[in-house]
Amino acid sequence: MIDLTVTSGGSFIAYFDCDEMFSDHMVGIYDSLKKGVKNADIEG
């Protein structure tokens, strides 16, 4: 599963389900089109 949320200011959050590699967790990537990757976390 992939979920992508984009704001009008150019920031976005992408969530990736890693085929149960991390059990019930997802990888979240926080980016900005202007500044690049801000943070990436395993969430859940």
Q: What is the pLDDT of residues 1-44, one digit of tens each?
A: 688 888 888 898 888 877 666 677 788 888 888 887 878 888 77
How many domains does the structure of the chain reveal?
1
Domain of 12?
2-43
Instruction: Kindly state the tokens that stand for 14.
Output: 């992408």
CA 40 to chain centre: 7
Using CA atoms in the order 27, 33, 37, 43, what is the torsion angle rounded to 10 degrees?
Answer: -20
- Looking at residue 1, its pLDDT comes to 63
